[in-house]
Amino acid sequence: MNLNVKNEEKETLVSLAGRMDAVSSPEFEKELGRLIDEGNVNFVIDLTELDYISSAGLRSVLVTAKKLKGKNGQILLASLQAVVKEVFEISGFSTIIPIYESVEEAMAAL
């Protein structure tokens, strides 16, 4: 999985590409944990190029969302591919974490 971070005006844009599974999800959790510790609390996660997410990946997203909730922050997901979106919907995570059709839409929601 490739992870790119870009600090915007009022949010941090994190773009993921590839597969988020038991091997790569700890990297996501560690990097976002570092960014949260640095004071970033509003995240838009661009999943345009994420091809696959496992239960370990879902867990990492949930752990991050819980950390942010404690700091009055939030995590928004954007541009999910059909397969990834289906995983979020079947798992019920789509009712916990807001999902937007585009990065622009998610940024406007903040």
d(CA 62, CA 53): 13
Residue 110 in domain: no
User: Nearest 10 degrees: CA dihedral of 93, 103, 23, 90?
Assistant: 20
CB atoms within 10 A of CB 80: 22
Residue 38 in domain: yes
Q: Quick one: pLDDT band at residue 29, thresholds 50, 70, 90?
A: very high
Task: Identify the pLDDT of residue 75.
Answer: 97
Residue 82 in domain: yes
Residue 26 in domain: yes
Count of domains observed in the chain: 1
For residue 86, what are the domain limits? 2-105
d(CA 85, CA 71): 26
Q: Quick one: pLDDT band at residue 10, thresholds 50, 70, 90?
A: confident
* CA 73 to each of CA 11, 44, 68, 69: distance values in angstroms, whole numbers, following the listed order: 10, 11, 5, 5
Q: Is the pLDDT of residue 9 over 90?
A: no
Return the CATH number at 24.
3.30.750.24
70 and 81 in contact (C-beta within 8 Å)? no
In sequence order, which residues have a C-beta less than 8 Å from that of residue 18 and are 6 or more positions away? 1, 2, 24, 49, 50, 51, 52
Task: Identify the pLDDT of residue 59.
Answer: 96
Taking the model in full, what pTM does it have? 0.95
